[in-house]
Structure 1
Amino acid sequence: MNFFKRLIAFTLLFLLTIFYSQAQTANRATGKISGRIVDAQTGDPIQYTTIRLFTQDQNKLVNGVIADSKGLFKLTNVPDGKYKVVFDFLGYQKIEKLNVVLNKNNRSVAFDDIKLASSQTTLQGVTITAKKQLIENKIDKMVYNTEKDVSSLTGVATDVLKKVPQIAVDIDGNVELQGNSNIRFLIDGKPSVLFGSNITDVLQSIPASQIQNIEIITSPGAKYDAEGTGGIINIILKKNKAIGFNGNLSLSTGTRLENGSLNLSMRHGNFGLHGFFSGNAQLLSTTLSNMDRKSEDATTTSRLLQNGSNDFTRDGYQSGIGMDWDLTPRDNISATVNYNYFENTSTGSANRQTLLHDDVGIQLSDINDQIFTSNKFHQYSYEWGLNYKRKFKKEGQDFEILFNSSDGNKYSYYDQTQNHLMPMTIYNGSYARNPGLQNETNLEVNYVQPLGKDVVLETGAKMTHDKINSTSDVYLLNTTTGDYEYSTTQSSLVHYNRNVYAGYLSISFKLFKALDIKTGLRDEYSEANADFLHTGLINLKPLNSVVPSIVFSRTFEDHQNIKLSYSRRIQRPDYRDMNPFIDASDPKNISTGNQNLRPEIGDKLELSYSTSFNNGSNINATLFYRGNKDDIQSYTQFYPTYKIGDSTYTNVAISTRENIGREDNYGVNLFASYPIKDKLELRTNISFFDRYIHTGLPSGGDIHGINYRANLNASYQVSSNMIVEAMGNFNSSRLNAQGKMPSFTYYNVAFRKQFLKKKASFALTANNFFDKYVNMKTNLTGTNFTIVNYRQMPFRSFGFNFTYKFGKMEFKNEHKTEDNQMNPSGIE
């Protein structure tokens, strides 16, 4: 309650500040200068560009303004005179407009589009570089520019995500955004069936060298799918739209990871082609583990001690080609085709001891045995998309149609055998195959209509079709014959279909000439059915979700921005949540899906402040509240005996996914960067949130705990072509519905040297080099049982990267000083 009181008080102060600032502005009928800032290469608006007005003769600063989220700017109350207008944004070449005249005969000057050229391009063989921000704050998202991250060059997507503000990645590669793991992942703004099975595997198979930047959207607007209570992470892969033939090759090798990527692009006139291929391999590593599980009933106490190791490998590759074609100056069509493949394999063994005592502590039995396990998984997918966009004569009015479809083929396999030790005999064994097919097809239409000055209407509709077929074939060992026999009772089959129909309407406008507001409403209606082998066809209850969103934003002339936003999100159970496949590769710890899950509903309130300084420093602070109803989490129950089909398992823990109740989080995130002179830059990212879990499960009770994460990055520019980076990260332990996940520390250093006129570079990286293992302790508690897991995970690694850029880019030369490229009105 105190949180909301403070938030309401802060909001009122925020609005009063706006009213006061407007009241202090004299409404004088003098001159006006306006226009729009765009990227010279792509034509996209450049938001938050700095525009400064100087007197022509004395070079005295008269006025200034920051462009809005659409790249538009307006200088008002300008006295008569002759001026110079300077346009400047980090990562772009500065442009000056001279001889801008305002007098009694001309009170208004309207520029044509001001085209800023990137300062990091190769022009006629000469490389021009400029310091580009690692973090960019935009009205609806934060952008992390991966090309500035030297220490992740030899790593994968999860290594990049570890450094992104508001994101936490645990030692297994699981990702949370502001403490929530239910994230909608996109690649180049589009969904993919790749993320429908094992997100961790996919993220750890995308080379960091293939990533252009990562967009973090914590409070998505009405245009975005409502899926994902944690928000949206959009991974933008590298592409090049420069004229000419260009390429980029990156190769990495190391003691733990190997990866490579090749990007090619060709553009001539209004037509362009691009293609890429990237691959990744996690080399063989061995994790040591031991488990201590205690359980009890009215008369006995059981204890299972398990000590073993597991060998693991992972590899995969991605490929794709695409084209874009400007049919006319106002019509564009683009298309992409991708093929992806990922796989992992693990083999392990463990010695087990099962002790049974009565209620007075007398030992009843002591059984020692051994288990051998093997797990394999692979998936491949085909994806294609076709987009059409039409820009009308009216500035800002456009229409687009987007189609994309992806087909995934997934395959899981396990086998296990259990042996008595004296004598060494097999007394139990099984194996299972789980092939599955998934298709996701999306058709989307969007339309933008400016309604007047500072008012824009957006609307659109979308249809999504999901189709999943999953088969589970289980074979059990007949110890008498030595044969594996098909189990009709444990095997399963499911056909799942879901359609989601969505429509949205949003409007953005200015209030009191200073406050930018964007509000919208999205309606999603979903219907689904599932056909199970043993229960038949089930028509799931249709769900209609009305999802509102609103953003208040105020940008000040001194590079400050404050934003207040609210959004509602939903999390529908996905393939991995509902898959009925029973993974009994460890018969003492079995996992399966849950077909009875309800969608999770989340409400998010966020207040953020960002500012930048002339020396390159940046600060971004965010306060947030998130409340989730029917929160979906992993849940474990213990059974002395558990029957699956015609088999009975003893002393077993069953893990599945459940709607555990309600979860409320109150948090703060702080990101800051500070350059020390021209050589050294420090960056820090600190997250802190208070979590309350109100469960309605048998283990019951309310859970409360504080979670935090802190990292510090330092980069030192030794010379114009040499840089050194270091990073340290600490994640505190995390609470869930049944216990505590472990804390861990991660650190690395990196060195990069550029040569051949900065067309080539090599880099060296070292991660957790002081310790071979990261030690992890996990506690889990439920009705009548406790589990303590210890793991030693190999994390020390060293890597080497080589990158080479080739080709020649051609741009229309944007001179730093331009006299005659605006509306002639007002120019001498």
Structure 2
Amino acid sequence: MSNLIKLFTTVLLLVTAISFAQQRPEAKKIKISGKIFEKGTDFPLEYATVVFENANKQGALSGSVTDMNGEFSFEVNAGTYNVRFEYISFKTVEIKNRTFSEDTNFGTLFLEADIAQLEGVELIAERSTVEIKLDKRVYNVGKDMMVKGGTVSDVLDNVPSVTVDAEGNVALRGNENVKILIDGRPSGLAGLNIADALKLLPADAVEKVEVITNPSARYDAEGGGGIINIVLRKGKANGLNGSIILSAGDPETYGVSSSINKKSDTYNLFSNFGYNYRNNPGNSLTDAEYFNPDGTTSQFINERRTNNRLREGYNMNFGIDLNLTESLTWTNALTFRENRGHNPNNVFFYNFDALKNPTFVRNRLNDERSEDFSIEYASNFVKKFKKDDHVLTLDIAVSSNRDNENSVITDQVIGDPTTLFSETTLNNQKQQRNLIQSDYVLPIGKDSRFEAGYRGSFLESLTEFEIQPASPYSNTLEYNEYVNALYMQYGSKINKFSYFFGLRFEDSNIDVNSFTSNSFNNKKYNNLFPSATLNYEFSESSSMSLSYSKRINRPRGRFLNPFSSYSSNINIFQGNPDLDPSLTDAIDLGYLKRWDKLTFNTSAYINITNDSFQFIRKESGLFVNGVPVIVSTPINLANEYRAGFEFNLNYTPYKWWRLNGNFNFFRNETQGTFTYLNYLDEVVTQNFDNVALTWFARINSKVTLPYKIDWQANATYNAPQTNAQGRSLGVASMNMAFSKDVLKDKGTIALNVSDLFNSRKRIMETNIPNIVNSYSEMQWRERQIMLSFTYRFNRQKNERDRQPRRDDNGGDGDFMG
């Protein structure tokens, strides 16, 4: 840790000294240049430090840091200096009392790894699994043993402030209205159902996850709860290098993935390949008591379900960065993903009369098979101008997604062959997405910046659902979404105070057409989305921010499709094609404090949403063997008020022990009523006024044991939460993993257990007066044990990214640091 502090202090002094030196033009300026490489590998060392300390004035520093090619170049006043060439975990090269009177090129210097510091430096170079910043959290996937061999859903379930429920739905600070991006943009690889897509993408393809709770105007306005950006891996080290990961687990799971890249001064070839086979057995139960219209009990039904979700698939990504000139880079990437699935869904309905006497048992087997294929081409131009951070970017992405499912459903009363009934279903979906965006960043003066940009997102999708024999649930749905957006924002810094104001305009044209029911809905609207961020730095280690943004959440996919699930014919999920978008005003007050061993970030937030989506359950008027069919569907309610606070912390009490934790408490209030006609043509009004208080917490611990064995464990608890028609119960779960480096640190063996106590479930209690009371448990995936082996060639274990990240919409990182 002391080495890291020393580096940061040195860089700070360099910046101060350079700024001061720029105010003294009368001194003779000379140019200092050269390269710094690693001895033995000839890899360039990015961010290596060159320090020029005036030999006649102690503490007067000049210098620079190396770029991604290991090169440095800067100006100093002619004079006598003590020179140091430094890099964390490498031996420092020093030159004492050397006089420099003219331009000097040091050529190529080679720094040698300091073996005596490796143990401590590994922890520094590796950094924390979670990096806390004032406006976002960055989760480094490569450091997390928990997700080896898993999926992106597993990755997100380990990210601070993020939860993934038993069905794969993602929430940020308890809010499911979250926008998920892949490499900073909406990706066609996610298809129509982002929750399902995340279960298919391998965790090994992900480099990091960025969580932005209150985005600025340069980000897409979609997602009332914030933005989650999934950044895929891309090699950056010179030469040919890469890694390969083999994994196997129980229940039967195995896979192989690789990341290979070849880089030179003029290009960078990168690729990712992956194959996986996964068996994700799950189960659920529902115990329901049904009532007569007068409120007396009519019958009981206990539903037991088992799933064997078998998935086999591959993913491939190829790309190239071309350095056309020193200031112009052109990147092209092509990505494929294909998966095949088999999910025998077996349901038993145990029926009882009003006195709990057994009457009959019905079995329903839904033998589902699926195939999906996605392809995406993306192109990116980056033009850098002479002034630092003066950048123009252009992005183009074209993607196509196809997802076909078919099921054979058999249904009969056990012991009575005459009741055998068979159905087949087809659910074919296809999607085309085109995206074009351009972003311009102009620094103004020393501490100001102007940004502007355009984004056009054009989505067309078609879903065909058919049941044979003919069924009222068959449907063909077309969804087209065309959104054009313009934004601009300006920010500046005055001493310790900085601000950023932005405005985004989005024009939306959306068609939701149900051809089967001849229902055609066109929604045209445009919105202004202002944003503002105020920040004050109390010191280098302490700062506070206040931010505001307006957000939108457009319904898509299963929310709109009048029919999307038929595994149970008495508990049906139906979308609502007439859903309107909801608008959210988000306010966030945050505070960040850093100590030597501890980083602490806390925030209080308020989200006010109009026309929020809520799920209601009602009788459909249909009956199966005398049992009423209950439909779950989303509707727009009047208002939702969400307020809460959270804190995140990283703590390193010792070099061998790191902790990070997240706690979130929130209050959610809904106000609204829903009125419908039941099958008896009676008006039924449901009051959805409700106040829910809940919280969740997660803690992650990583310990380096003797013999360099790493042990990682995390625990999560989701507290109970009430809603207008019932409540969800509290659920605790735990994961654990071990890893050991082998083959002179070129290989790593990891063993992880997901859901150690097999306790991760969604537990619900539902009460619809005079209709049904029910208790349900749903476990999407049972406990899983995974063993993986990683081998790296020409790549160090803790090799850093050697290229600045580009934010969504073209930003190069946080404004004002």
Q: Which residue of 2 aligns with 1:402?
A: 395
Decide which of 617, 621, 643 is 1:636's aligned counterpart: 617
For residues 14-46 of structure 1, what are the alpha-carbon distances to aligned partners after superposition, in whole Å with 9 as ceiling and x for unaligned?
xxxxxxxxxxxxxxx9982579xxx99999999
C-alpha displacement at 1:243, in angstroms?
Answer: 1.4
Q: Deviations over 1:474-529 (max 9, x none)?
A: 212xxxxxxxxx45x54322333221111001111113x22121110000011122
The two structures, once aligned, show a CA RMSD in angstroms of 4.2
Partner residue in 1 for 2:460:
467
For 1:228-267, what aligned pairs fall within 5 Å after superposition?
A: 228-256=223-251, 257-267=253-263
CA-CA distance at 1:663 after TM superposition: 1.8
2:490 corresponds to 1:507: yes
Selected match of 2:419 from 426, 450, 459:
426
Alignment of 1:181 with 2:176, yes or no, is yes
What's the counterpart of residue 660 of structure 2? 683
User: Could you tell me whether the CA contact under 8 Å between 2:615 and 2:632 is conserved in 1?
Assistant: yes
Q: Unaligned stretches of 5+ in structure 1?
A: 1-28, 64-80, 102-111, 477-485, 815-828
Q: Deviations over 1:346-368 (max 9, x none)?
A: 223333344565xxx9x999554
Map 1:513-662; keep pairs closer than 5 Å: 513-536=495-518, 538-614=520-596, 616-639=597-620, 641-642=621-622, 650-662=627-639
Distance 1:436 1:232 in 2: 26
8 Å CA contact 2:171–2:178 kept in 1: the answer is yes
For residues 745 and 98 of structure 1, do their structure 2 counterparts lie closer, same or farther at Cα, with a shift above 3 Å needed?
A: farther
Q: Which one of the candidate residues 297, 317, 320 is aligned to 1:320?
A: 317
Distance 1:575 1:225, change over 3 A: same
Moved more, 169-178 or 220-229: 169-178
The counterpart of 2:369, out of the listed 370, 376, 383, is: 376
Residue equivalent to 2:345: 348
Instruction: Classify 1:591/1:288 alpha carbon distance in 2 versus 1 (closer, same or farther; 3 Å).
Output: closer
Counterpart for residue 106 of structure 1: none
1:230 shift after superposition? 1.5
Distance 1:33 1:596, change over 3 A: farther
Query: Aligned partners of 2:153 and 2:538: how far apart in 1?
Result: 35
Q: Tell me which moved more, 444-453 or 226-235.
A: 444-453
Q: Secondary structure at the match of 2:562?
A: coil
Deviation at 1:786, TM superposition (A): 2.3
> Within the alignment, does 1:742 sit opposite 2:729 as a pair?
yes
C-alpha contact 2:92 2:111 (8 A) present in aligned 1: no
Alpha-carbon contact 1:196-1:574 (below 8 Å) kept: no
Partner of 2:291: 295
Residues 84 and 92, structure 2, Cα contact 8 Å, conserved in 1: yes
Which residues of 2 match residues 687-706 of structure 1 at below 5 A? 687-697=664-674, 698-706=685-693
With structure 1 as the length reference, what TM-score do the two structures score? 0.79
Alignment correspondent of 1:725: 712
For 1:160, what is the secondary structure of its paired residue?
Answer: helix
Question: Does 2:766 correspond to 1:780?
Answer: yes
CA distance in 2 between partners of 1:447 and 1:667 (Å): 35
Using a 3 Å threshold, how does the CA distance of structure 1 residues 731 and 660 change in structure 2: closer, same or farther?
same
Amino acid aligned to 1:378: E
Structure 1 SS opposite 2:766:
strand
Match of 1:168 in 2: 163
Counterpart CA distance in 1 for 2:380 and 2:604 is 37
Query: Aligned partners of 2:729 and 2:90: how far apart in 1?
Result: 44
In structure 2, relative to structure 1, the CA distance for the partners of 1:90 and 1:534 (3 Å cut) is farther
Whole-Å Cα distance in 2 between the matches of residues 799 and 92 of structure 1?
35
Bigger mean CA offset, 135-144 vs 319-328: 135-144
Cα distance, 1:401 vs structure 2: 1.1
| Post-superposition offset of 1:530 | 3.5
Q: In structure 2, give the amino acid aligned to 1:630.
A: D
Residue 331 (structure 1) aligns with: 328
Aligned partner of 2:20 among 29, 32, 37: 32
Residues 143 and 461 from structure 1, CA distance in 2 versus in 1: closer, same or farther, beyond 3 angstroms? same
2:815 is aligned to none
Please state how far the C-alpha of 1:598 moved relative to its aligned partner: 0.3
Alpha carbons 1:93, 1:116 under 8 Å: kept: no
Q: Secondary structure at the match of 1:203?
A: helix
Q: Which residue of 2 aligns with 1:760?
A: 747
Does residue 136 (structure 1) correspond to residue 131 (structure 2)? The answer is yes
- The residue aligned with 2:273 is 277
Give the secondary structure class of the aligned counterpart of 1:221: coil
- Deviation track 1:536-560 (CA, whole Å, cap 9, x = no partner) reads 4735131111111111123354322
Q: Which amino acid aligns with 1:340?
A: R
The answer to whether the 8 Å contact 1:679/1:718 transfers is yes
Secondary structure of the corresponding residue to residue 151 of structure 1:
helix
**Counterpart code for 1:283:** N
Identical columns (%): 26
* Count of residues in correspondence between the two structures: 732
* Alpha-carbon distance between aligned partners in 2 of 1:626 and 1:45, rounded to the nearest angstrom: 41
- Which runs of 5 or more residues in structure 2 are unaligned? 1-16, 24-34, 38-42, 63-78, 100-104, 675-684, 803-817
Deviates more, 1:750-759 or 1:309-318: 309-318
Q: Secondary structure of the residue that 1:204 maps to in structure 2? A: helix
